[in-house]
């Protein structure tokens, strides 16, 4: 590593419920990590095989998988794992917990990003619950004894959501994505069956989706950019803590993350090593492991 980049390289594991969840809520942040040479792994706990109005089963699951791999290539994501379980059937059971334990052990991340346990979709809630349930047991050698325990505990952060009960999302980290927003939307554009078919159908706006591919991307931006503008505006005070008030004032789009007390715990100082592109870089030993 060059002296100009003193931070050690990180491994980031994003665990979403469905193919496209990682891109929606942290695709820009993921691109910032990969552009800086960090390793990012996406995982979806379900295969997306029920989320459509015309096709399903094998055909839809394979289509969603192919879309995810295309997005992976665009974002520079090291790996995009999809567990072969139907959407809508995920449960917080020991069976699924063991799958998450093995996933975490195999990837051995410094940071896990996932849903909060408060959400409209049961798959989102249960994905979060499974990650939390695995966060301690992953360190127990006799649980899944044929896989090695991690070298150290991973930090966990929640991805943004808009739900307010039992308590609203409260970010510790807000990441500007203005400079990578085009790449984020190129990743989202790969998920055609979701972005241009299932979600518009489910929301009753399928007839507004253009057939022309270029116009379709602009349509998607019209639908989605206000979400990321809302995050930047709502949490501009957090951006100011990261960047200073002048730089924060110019940010148009952002993604946000809330530290979780499970796993290895998270505090504001951890953000300096886990989200290094947000902060002035200190002079540190570049050979030091971020987990030690």
Span 244-288, pLDDT tens digits = 999 999 999 999 999 999 988 887 677 778 998 886 433 333 333
Residue 2 pLDDT > 60: no
Residue 289 pLDDT > 60: no
Residue 87 pLDDT > 60: yes
Residues 208-225: tens digit of each pLDDT: 999 999 999 999 999 999
Q: What is the model's pLDDT at position 153?
A: 81
Q: Decide which of 20 and 269 is more confident.
A: 20
Helix (H) or strand (E) holding 273: helix 270-274
Q: Which residues contact 146 (CB under 8 A, 6 or more apart)?
A: none
DSSP state of 157: E
Can you tell me the distance from the alpha carbon of 84 to that of 241, in angstroms, rounded to the nearest whole number?
41
Residue 161 pLDDT > 80: yes
Peptide bond into 166 cis (omega under 30): yes
Q: What is the model's pLDDT at position 292?
A: 31
Strands, E assignment, the chain: 11-16, 39-44, 79-82, 111-114, 155-159, 173-176, 254-259
Q: What is the model's pLDDT at position 151?
A: 76
Residue 110 pLDDT > 60: yes
User: Exposed (0-12), middle (13-18) or buried (19+): which is 165, by Cβ within 10 Å?
Assistant: exposed
DSSP state of 197: I
Can you tell me the distance from the alpha carbon of 51 to that of 68, in angstroms, rounded to the nearest whole number?
15
Look at strands 173-176 and 254-259 and give their pairing. antiparallel
Angstrom distances, CA of residue 184 to CA of 57, 102, 270, 283: 28, 28, 25, 31
Can you tell me the distance from the alpha carbon of 189 to that of 198, in angstroms, rounded to the nearest whole number?
13
Can you tell me the distance from the alpha carbon of 65 to that of 162, in angstroms, rounded to the nearest whole number?
27
Classify domain 11-278 at the CATH class level. Answer: alpha beta
Domain ranges of the chain: 11-278
Q: pTM for this structure?
A: 0.92
Q: At which residue do the structure tokens 């990012």 appear?
A: 40
7 falls in which pLDDT band (50, 70, 90)?
low
- Triad 88, 89, 95: Cα angle to 5°: 145
8 falls in which pLDDT band (50, 70, 90)?
confident
Q: What is the model's pLDDT at position 287?
A: 33
Residue 46 pLDDT > 60: yes
Give the whole-number percent of the chain exceeding pLDDT 90: 85
Count of beta carbons in the 10 Å neighbourhood of residue 247: 12
The structure tokens listed for 32 are 């910032």
Q: What is the model's pLDDT at position 270?
A: 72
Out of 88-92, 234-238, 262-266, least confident range: 262-266
Residues 122-131: tens digit of each pLDDT: 999 999 999 9
Distance of CA 261 to the CA centre of its chain: 18
Q: What is the model's pLDDT at position 279?
A: 67
Can you tell me the distance from the alpha carbon of 153 to that of 103, in angstroms, rounded to the nearest whole number?
14
Q: What is the model's pLDDT at position 100?
A: 97
Can you tell me the distance from the alpha carbon of 85 to that of 90, in angstroms, rounded to the nearest whole number?
7
């Amino acid at each position: 590593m060059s002296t100009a980049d003193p931070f050690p390289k990180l491994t980031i594991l994003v665990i979403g419920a469905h193919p496209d969840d990682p891109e929606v809520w942290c695709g820009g942040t993921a691109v910032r990590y990969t552009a800086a040479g960090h390793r990012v792994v996406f995982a979806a706990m379900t295969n997306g095989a029920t989320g459509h109005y015309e096709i399903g089963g094998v055909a839809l699951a394979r289509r969603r998988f192919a879309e995810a791999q295309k997005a992976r290539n665009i974002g520079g994501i090291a790996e995009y794992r999809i567990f072969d379980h139907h959407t809508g059937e995920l449960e917080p059971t020991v069976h699924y917990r063991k799958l998450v334990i093995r996933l975490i052990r195999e990837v051995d991340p410094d940071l896990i990003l996932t849903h909060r346990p408060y959400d409209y979709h049961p798959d989102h809630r249960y994905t979060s619950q499974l990650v939390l349930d695995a966060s301690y047991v992953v360190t127990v050698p006799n649980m899944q004894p044929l896989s090695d325990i991690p070298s150290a505990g991973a930090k966990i952060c929640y991805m943004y959501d808009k739900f307010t009960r039992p308590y609203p999302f409260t970010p510790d980290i807000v990441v500007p994505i203005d400079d990578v927003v085009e790449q984020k939307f190129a990743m989202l554009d790969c998920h055609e069956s979701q972005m241009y078919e299932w979600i518009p159908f489910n929301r009753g706006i399928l007839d507004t989706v253009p057939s022309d591919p270029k116009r379709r991307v602009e349509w998607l931006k019209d639908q989605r950019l206000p979400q990321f503008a809302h995050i930047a505006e709502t949490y501009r005070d957090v951006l100011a803590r990261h960047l200073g008030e002048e730089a924060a004032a110019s940010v148009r789009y952002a993604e946000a993350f809330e530290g979780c007390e499970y796993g290895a715990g998270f505090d504001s100082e951890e953000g300096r090593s886990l989200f290094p592109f947000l902060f002035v870089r200190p002079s540190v030993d570049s050979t030091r492991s971020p987990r030690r």
